[in-house]
Chain A
Amino acid sequence: DAKTTQPPSMDCAEGRAANLPCNHSTISGNEYVYWYRQIHSQGPQYIIHGLKNNETNEMASLIITEDRKSSTLILPHATLRDTAVYYCIVNYYNAGNMLTFGGGTRLMVKP
Protein backbone atom coordinates (compact mmCIF):
# COMPACT_ATOMS: atom_id res chain seq x y z
CA ASP A 1 0.00 0.00 0.00
CA ALA A 2 1.20 3.47 -0.84
CA LYS A 3 1.92 5.55 2.25
CA THR A 4 0.94 8.81 0.60
CA THR A 5 -2.25 10.53 -0.46
CA GLN A 6 -2.39 12.91 -3.39
CA PRO A 7 -5.24 14.58 -5.29
CA PRO A 8 -5.87 12.68 -8.52
CA SER A 9 -5.68 15.73 -10.74
CA MET A 10 -4.88 19.44 -10.80
CA ASP A 11 -4.81 22.22 -13.36
CA CYS A 12 -2.36 25.09 -13.53
CA ALA A 13 -2.04 28.06 -15.84
CA GLU A 14 1.16 28.31 -17.83
CA GLY A 15 3.67 30.62 -16.14
CA ARG A 16 2.04 30.27 -12.75
CA ALA A 17 3.37 28.30 -9.80
CA ALA A 18 2.07 24.76 -9.50
CA ASN A 19 1.69 23.61 -5.90
CA LEU A 20 1.20 19.88 -5.57
CA PRO A 21 0.23 18.61 -2.10
CA CYS A 22 0.98 15.26 -0.54
CA ASN A 23 -0.13 13.77 2.76
CA HIS A 24 2.10 11.23 4.47
CA SER A 25 0.75 11.20 8.00
CA THR A 26 2.31 7.83 8.92
CA ILE A 27 5.83 8.77 7.85
CA SER A 28 8.51 7.55 10.25
CA GLY A 29 11.48 9.53 11.48
CA ASN A 30 14.03 8.18 9.02
CA GLU A 31 11.87 8.08 5.93
CA TYR A 32 12.56 10.52 3.13
CA VAL A 33 10.00 12.17 0.88
CA TYR A 34 10.68 11.71 -2.83
CA TRP A 35 8.98 13.26 -5.82
CA TYR A 36 9.01 11.82 -9.31
CA ARG A 37 7.05 12.68 -12.41
CA GLN A 38 6.08 10.70 -15.47
CA ILE A 39 5.51 12.39 -18.77
CA HIS A 40 3.42 10.45 -21.25
CA SER A 41 5.23 7.48 -22.80
CA GLN A 42 8.39 8.04 -20.75
CA GLY A 43 9.84 6.45 -17.64
CA PRO A 44 9.47 8.28 -14.33
CA GLN A 45 11.89 11.14 -13.75
CA TYR A 46 13.35 12.03 -10.37
CA ILE A 47 12.58 15.59 -9.26
CA ILE A 48 13.64 16.15 -5.67
CA HIS A 49 13.75 14.58 -2.20
CA GLY A 50 14.07 15.68 1.40
CA LEU A 51 13.97 14.56 5.02
CA LYS A 52 13.11 17.51 7.23
CA ASN A 53 14.35 20.70 5.68
CA ASN A 54 12.94 22.42 2.65
CA GLU A 55 14.85 21.66 -0.50
CA THR A 56 15.30 23.46 -3.81
CA ASN A 57 16.95 22.47 -7.05
CA GLU A 58 16.79 23.57 -10.66
CA MET A 59 13.49 21.81 -11.20
CA ALA A 60 11.41 22.48 -8.12
CA SER A 61 11.14 23.27 -4.43
CA LEU A 62 10.00 20.87 -1.73
CA ILE A 63 8.33 22.22 1.37
CA ILE A 64 7.93 19.74 4.25
CA THR A 65 5.79 20.67 7.24
CA GLU A 66 7.39 20.75 10.65
CA ASP A 67 5.54 17.61 11.76
CA ARG A 68 6.54 15.96 8.43
CA LYS A 69 3.02 14.72 7.87
CA SER A 70 2.63 16.54 4.60
CA SER A 71 4.65 18.22 1.90
CA THR A 72 4.21 20.39 -1.16
CA LEU A 73 6.08 20.26 -4.42
CA ILE A 74 6.34 23.66 -6.05
CA LEU A 75 7.06 24.21 -9.73
CA PRO A 76 7.68 27.96 -9.68
CA HIS A 77 6.82 28.75 -13.30
CA ALA A 78 4.92 25.89 -14.86
CA THR A 79 5.26 25.28 -18.58
CA LEU A 80 3.27 23.07 -20.93
CA ARG A 81 6.10 20.54 -20.74
CA ASP A 82 5.43 20.12 -17.02
CA THR A 83 2.15 18.35 -17.83
CA ALA A 84 2.68 14.92 -16.27
CA VAL A 85 1.70 12.59 -13.45
CA TYR A 86 3.52 13.57 -10.26
CA TYR A 87 4.25 10.90 -7.66
CA CYS A 88 5.00 11.55 -3.99
CA ILE A 89 6.74 8.63 -2.28
CA VAL A 90 8.17 7.98 1.16
CA ASN A 91 11.11 5.65 1.51
CA TYR A 92 13.76 4.69 4.01
CA TYR A 93 17.37 5.72 3.66
CA ASN A 94 18.32 2.21 2.64
CA ALA A 95 19.06 0.81 -0.75
CA GLY A 96 16.86 -2.07 -1.66
CA ASN A 97 13.58 -0.76 -0.37
CA MET A 98 11.68 -0.47 -3.57
CA LEU A 99 9.69 2.66 -4.15
CA THR A 100 5.95 2.13 -3.94
CA PHE A 101 4.22 4.34 -6.45
CA GLY A 102 0.67 5.36 -5.68
CA GLY A 103 -1.76 6.93 -8.10
CA GLY A 104 -0.05 10.30 -8.23
CA THR A 105 -1.46 13.65 -9.31
CA ARG A 106 -2.12 14.30 -12.96
CA LEU A 107 -1.06 17.91 -13.49
CA MET A 108 -2.41 19.63 -16.57
CA VAL A 109 -0.69 22.90 -17.44
CA LYS A 110 -2.93 24.99 -19.65
CA PRO A 111 -2.02 27.91 -21.91
Chain B
Amino acid sequence: GAGVSQSPSNKVTEKGKDVELRCDPISGHTALYWYRQSLGQGLEFLIYFQGNSAPDKSGLPSDRFSAERTGGSVSTLTIQRTQQEDSAVYLCASSFLGNSPLHFGNGTRLTVT
Protein backbone atom coordinates (compact mmCIF):
# COMPACT_ATOMS: atom_id res chain seq x y z
CA GLY B 1 0.00 0.00 0.00
CA ALA B 2 0.97 3.62 -0.39
CA GLY B 3 0.32 4.68 3.20
CA VAL B 4 2.23 4.41 6.47
CA SER B 5 2.06 0.86 7.75
CA GLN B 6 2.36 -0.10 11.40
CA SER B 7 2.61 -3.53 12.94
CA PRO B 8 1.28 -5.17 14.91
CA SER B 9 -2.08 -3.43 14.94
CA ASN B 10 -2.73 -4.77 18.43
CA LYS B 11 -0.33 -6.03 21.08
CA VAL B 12 -1.15 -7.40 24.51
CA THR B 13 1.80 -7.98 26.79
CA GLU B 14 2.48 -8.73 30.41
CA LYS B 15 3.96 -6.12 32.70
CA GLY B 16 7.73 -6.34 32.67
CA LYS B 17 8.04 -7.73 29.13
CA ASP B 18 9.76 -5.91 26.27
CA VAL B 19 7.86 -4.97 23.11
CA GLU B 20 8.86 -3.80 19.65
CA LEU B 21 6.59 -1.73 17.46
CA ARG B 22 7.32 -1.33 13.78
CA CYS B 23 6.66 1.49 11.34
CA ASP B 24 7.04 1.38 7.55
CA PRO B 25 6.87 4.98 6.28
CA ILE B 26 5.78 6.09 2.84
CA SER B 27 8.56 5.44 0.34
CA GLY B 28 10.76 8.51 -0.13
CA HIS B 29 9.66 10.26 3.05
CA THR B 30 12.76 11.41 4.91
CA ALA B 31 11.14 12.43 8.20
CA LEU B 32 9.54 9.95 10.59
CA TYR B 33 7.71 10.68 13.84
CA TRP B 34 6.41 8.63 16.75
CA TYR B 35 3.49 9.79 18.86
CA ARG B 36 1.38 8.07 21.45
CA GLN B 37 -2.23 8.58 22.39
CA SER B 38 -3.66 7.38 25.66
CA LEU B 39 -7.37 6.56 25.84
CA GLY B 40 -9.43 9.70 25.32
CA GLN B 41 -6.36 11.91 25.26
CA GLY B 42 -4.54 13.98 22.67
CA LEU B 43 -1.37 13.06 20.82
CA GLU B 44 1.92 13.09 22.75
CA PHE B 45 5.12 13.54 20.73
CA LEU B 46 7.78 10.93 21.42
CA ILE B 47 10.63 11.15 18.90
CA TYR B 48 11.49 12.40 15.43
CA PHE B 49 13.92 11.03 12.82
CA GLN B 50 15.48 12.86 9.92
CA GLY B 51 16.99 10.09 7.84
CA ASN B 52 18.47 7.66 10.34
CA SER B 53 19.32 10.22 13.00
CA ALA B 54 17.07 11.42 15.77
CA PRO B 55 17.71 15.12 16.45
CA ASP B 56 14.76 15.33 18.81
CA LYS B 57 14.29 12.67 21.47
CA SER B 58 12.79 15.05 23.95
CA GLY B 59 9.45 13.32 24.12
CA LEU B 60 10.60 9.88 25.17
CA PRO B 61 8.99 9.43 28.59
CA SER B 62 11.75 7.35 30.17
CA ASP B 63 14.94 5.44 29.42
CA ARG B 64 12.82 2.32 28.93
CA PHE B 65 11.82 3.79 25.58
CA SER B 66 14.14 3.75 22.58
CA ALA B 67 13.78 3.96 18.83
CA GLU B 68 15.89 3.39 15.80
CA ARG B 69 15.57 3.82 12.09
CA THR B 70 17.59 1.93 9.52
CA GLY B 71 18.21 2.65 5.86
CA GLY B 72 16.23 5.84 6.13
CA SER B 73 13.10 3.74 6.07
CA VAL B 74 11.72 1.32 8.66
CA SER B 75 11.65 2.39 12.29
CA THR B 76 11.26 0.37 15.46
CA LEU B 77 10.07 1.71 18.79
CA THR B 78 11.14 -0.49 21.70
CA ILE B 79 9.69 -0.38 25.18
CA GLN B 80 11.59 -2.33 27.79
CA ARG B 81 10.09 -3.65 31.02
CA THR B 82 6.63 -2.45 30.08
CA GLN B 83 4.40 -0.87 32.70
CA GLN B 84 0.63 -0.55 32.74
CA GLU B 85 0.91 3.20 32.13
CA ASP B 86 2.55 2.39 28.78
CA SER B 87 -0.82 1.19 27.51
CA ALA B 88 -1.79 3.47 24.63
CA VAL B 89 -2.03 3.69 20.86
CA TYR B 90 1.40 4.32 19.37
CA LEU B 91 1.19 6.29 16.12
CA CYS B 92 3.84 6.69 13.46
CA ALA B 93 3.89 9.41 10.80
CA SER B 94 6.16 10.31 7.92
CA SER B 95 6.67 13.32 5.70
CA PHE B 96 8.92 14.95 3.13
CA LEU B 97 11.16 17.86 4.11
CA GLY B 98 9.78 21.31 4.60
CA ASN B 99 6.24 22.08 5.51
CA SER B 100 4.77 19.02 3.89
CA PRO B 101 2.01 17.42 5.91
CA LEU B 102 2.41 14.35 8.07
CA HIS B 103 0.89 11.08 6.95
CA PHE B 104 -0.09 8.87 9.87
CA GLY B 105 -0.49 5.15 10.18
CA ASN B 106 -3.42 3.68 12.09
CA GLY B 107 -1.25 2.90 15.08
CA THR B 108 -0.43 -0.02 17.32
CA ARG B 109 -2.74 -0.45 20.28
CA LEU B 110 -0.58 -1.63 23.17
CA THR B 111 -2.18 -3.13 26.25
CA VAL B 112 -0.02 -3.99 29.24
CA THR B 113 -1.70 -6.36 31.66
Residues of chain A at the chain B interface (Cβ within 8 Å): 32, 34, 36, 41-46, 49, 91-96, 98-104
Assess whether B56 is in contact with A43, with CB atoms less than 8 Å apart. no
Query: Closest chain A residue to B58 by CB distance?
Result: A98
Cα distance A60–B60 in the bound complex, in angstroms: 34
Name the contact of B101 in the complex, choosing from A46, A98, A102, A103 (C-beta under 8 A).
A46
Q: List 17 A-B contacts (CB under 8 A).
A: A43-B4, A43-B93, A46-B102, A49-B101, A92-B99, A93-B99, A95-B50, A95-B97, A95-B98, A95-B100, A96-B48, A96-B50, A98-B33, A98-B48, A98-B59, A103-B42, A104-B42
Assess whether B99 is in contact with A102, with CB atoms less than 8 Å apart. no
Tell me the smallest distance from the CB of A106 to a CB of chain B, in Å. 11
Assess whether A43 is in contact with B48, with CB atoms less than 8 Å apart. no
Say yes or no: is B25 at the interface (Cβ < 8 Å to chain A): no
Assess whether B56 is in contact with A96, with CB atoms less than 8 Å apart. yes
Residues of chain B at the chain A interface (Cβ within 8 Å): 4, 30-31, 33, 35, 42-43, 45, 48, 50, 55-56, 59, 91, 93, 95-107
Among B30, B99, B104, residue most surrounded by chain A Cβ atoms (within 10 Å): B99
Are A44 and B48 also in contact (CB < 8 A) when A32-B99, A49-B99 are? Answer: no
Assess whether B55 is in contact with A96, with CB atoms less than 8 Å apart. yes
Assess whether A43 is in contact with B104, with CB atoms less than 8 Å apart. yes
Cα distance A100–B4 in the bound complex, in angstroms: 20
4 smallest A-B Cβ distances: which pairs? Answer: A43-B104, A46-B101, A101-B43, A93-B99
Instruction: Find chain A residues with CB under 8 A from B104 CB.
Output: 43-45
